[in-house]
A = this chain, B = another copy of it.
Amino acid sequence: MFAPLQNDSFLRACLRQPTEHTPVWLMRQAGRYLPEYRATREKAGSFMGLATHVDFATEVTLQPLERFPLDAAILFSDILTVPDAMGLGLSFQQGEGPKFAKVVRDEAAVAALEVPDLDKLRYVFDAVTSIRRALNGRVPLIGFSGSPWTLACYMVEGGGSDDYRLVKSLMYARPDLMHRILDVNARAVAAYLNAQIEAGAQAVMVFDSWGGVLADGAFQEFSLRYSRQVLAAVKTEHEGVRIPRILFTKGGGLWLDEIADAGADVVGLDWTMNLGQARARVGNRVALQGNLDPNVLFAPPEAVRAQARAVLDSFGPPAAGSGHIFNLGHGISQFTPPDSVTALVDEVHSHSRRLRASL
């Protein structure tokens, strides 16, 4: 049904198999820093217009691959499609983040929550299949979702937050309600990711973007537990092929040991974590993905290259059983000069080849 894969370095690194270079992709690589993305976005009229239109979603997913020799593509979508399908009404205001028309803050709203009919997310699965076809085997396609906790943050707050006051108030005052939201979310996210895999996703990633705002103890109870529930229910292979699963908790470095045991093949790291120390802590339990500060990309090309080398050197020489996928520690900024990405990707490929040659 799909063309055979020409560059499998990303999938191999996820599974801690040897690669000729360190594969690299960038969170939000299809995005506003690219003029061609802004042009397509203009045609689509709105972010959701873009994400829900199969041809547009396919077009923007492939745009960064035309410019940069990236080693993976990631579905163009949003982490909040699942609560939207639950009927909460997702929208994006110009210049602001996501907003939900309905919020989940009381007993009645929590009781009404259900795992959504996956047919409401058909546009996502259609986009996955369309993108996989359009990729034609160039690189693997990654599917994704927000984590149960991260979805809950938006569902309770109604949008972004700088203090997570409402969601944490509910969590501390009514942990029973919070657990019910998280259980529904976990079942929905697992079904959603499995449907993406069936539609053609070759790896999946759980974005626990807001796990790091939780207190020690609360993180384990309200975030990690439900990411683990998702990972336990998501396919590990499809049609005989392994499907790597990535768990990324922004600000989760302190809990790395526990995160590494959550059932993912790959743990994503932000830039606060020393990659060499992380590797020493997880051993060969999981591969690691990360972890350049996206703000490095505002420096001149030579500084970008030096910082890219520092990340690769920090991970250290590739060795049997280890795996590293180069990425940023957060989504690329809309203000990034595309030439910085050219320098970055080139340096990751060339320096990681040199590291292998010197072994």
Contacts and interface: CB of A to CB of B under 8 A. Distances in A.
A165 B216 contact: no
Nearest to A213: B272
Given A215-B329, A216-B273, 13 more contacts: A162-B162, A163-B295, A165-B333, A168-B293, A172-B303, A173-B298, A173-B303, A212-B272, A214-B272, A215-B272, A218-B293, A251-B272, A253-B253
B298 A215 contact: no
Q: How large is the interface on A (under 10, 10 to 19, 20 to 34, 35 or more residues)?
A: 35 or more
Interface of A: 162-165, 168-169, 172-173, 212, 214-219, 251, 253-254, 271-274, 291-293, 295-296, 298-300, 303, 307, 310, 329, 333, 335
Contacts of A295: 163-165, 168-169, 172
A300 B333 contact: no
14 contacts: A163-B295, A163-B333, A165-B295, A165-B335, A168-B295, A173-B299, A214-B272, A215-B271, A215-B272, A216-B273, A251-B251, A253-B253, A253-B254, A254-B272
Query: Top 8 A-B pairs ranked by shortest CB distance?
Result: A168-B295, A169-B298, A172-B299, A215-B271, A216-B274, A215-B293, A173-B299, A253-B254
Contact of A298 (B168, B218, B251, B307): B168
Contacts of A173: 298-300, 303
Contacts of A299: 169, 172-173
Contacts of A162: 162
A45 to B, nearest CB: 26
B172 A272 contact: no
Contact of A296 (B172, B219, B296, B329): B172
Contacts of A293: 168, 214-215, 218
Given A165-B333, A298-B165, A335-B165, A307 B172 contact: yes
Nearest to A299: B172
A294 to B, nearest CB: 8
A152 B329 CA distance: 23
Nearest to A217: B310
A310 B220 CA distance: 15
A219 B272 contact: yes
